[in-house]
Amino acid sequence: MSDWWLIGLVGFLSFVLTAALRRYALAHSIIDVPIARSSHSVPTPRGGGVAIVVSFLIALPLLGWAEEVSFDTLMAAGGAGALVAVIGFMDDHGHIAARWRLLGHFCASVWALYWLGGLPEVTLFGMTVDAGWSGGVLAAFYLVWMLNLYNFMDGIDGIASVEAICVCLGMGLLCALSGHTGLVLLPLVLAVAVAGFLCWNFPPARIFMGDAGSGFLGIILGVFSLQAAWASSQLLWAWLILLGVFIVDATFTLTRRLLRGDKVYEAHRSHAYQFASRRYGRHLPVTLAVAGLNLFWLLPVAACVVLLGVDGAVGVVVAYVPLVALALKFHAGELEKTDATQGSV
């Protein structure tokens, strides 16, 4: 079976479904209306990320039938992704209490880990670490954090889509060059599904992703990274490096807000990328900067880890230092009143 026709079909389906979802959202007033804590100024339909979910999930069983994807991977990614997407879809159309959303997220994570086999041995600063059952607990929290941070970072036009495409294509390239060709196809299919949606979400966005799409991307990328860990510990570190922009901004912001005693479940605009978009008055420069960081900084560092044998943990530290500096520069986690002193738009 040639995979190229399926990859093309996924992109086309995602594009068409996004257009249909936009019409549906406009007809049923499923609109994000700007409020004081919004990063946009024009009412915009939301929920377009469902197109990514549907097109990717349709591709999974076809790839499984063609024996391109193992049954365990199909169950892990498909089951966990579908559950998170349903929870996000319900939250997009109403409100689900945070505790019930979190419970659903942990259920999805446990489901994925059951089919993946948990967390394998990981090489950490030259030492092989087998965390056993505690590694499984850590991996569950990792997946839950991944899907939530992706939701947090989906706050300006195109940023979540561009991040997913850059990370998936980058990892696909590294897996191909390192001989792990069996790990190339799924990230490529996801990248194409996101690209179909991005045609409608690129700044200025005509539709937003919504919780269903952002949460789905977060947990699927997390599942891909743990799947890769079973093939090579270096590939896990490479995933963490390429996801660095989102991981650093979200984690740095959350940590600062926790230390300040903020209610972290409340909406806010204190991520570094949000401060940056207000400083420059547009979303496009920030979204393009994320693509540039992935292409010209994080991908080369990840390549050194995968292709040149640089210690993975050292690679993460090296990759994250400039990202932390950027988080500080753009006031990640600070009170929003700092906008007034920055000349923000």
- Report the binding-site residues for Mg(2+): 151, 211
Measure the CA angle with vertex 97, ends 93 and 103; round to 5°: 110
The answer for residues whose C-beta is within 8 angstroms of residue 126's C-beta and 6 or more apart is 311
| Paired tokens of 236 | 């896990």
- Rg of the chain on CA atoms, in Å: 19
What is the separation of C-alpha 252 from the centre of its chain, rounded to a whole number of angstroms? 16
d(Cα 170, Cα 105) in Å, to the nearest integer? 27
d(Cα 247, Cα 253) in Å, to the nearest integer? 10
d(Cα 303, Cα 173) in Å, to the nearest integer? 9
Is beta strand 127-129 parallel, antiparallel or unpaired with respect to 122-124?
antiparallel
d(Cα 282, Cα 288) in Å, to the nearest integer? 11
d(Cα 138, Cα 124) in Å, to the nearest integer? 15
**3-class state of residue 124 by DSSP:** strand
Residue ranges at the known binding site? 151, 211
**Of 257, 294, 292, nearest to 272 (Cα)?**
257
State in Å, rounded, how far the first CA of the chain is from the last one: 52
Q: What is the DSSP string of 174-240?
A: HHHHTT-GGGTHHHHHHHHHHHHHHHHHSSSPSS--HHHHHHHHHHHHHHHHHHHHHH-HHHHHHHH
**Cβ of 182: how many Cβ atoms within 10 Å?**
14
Contact in structure between 113 and 140 (CB atoms under 8 Å): yes
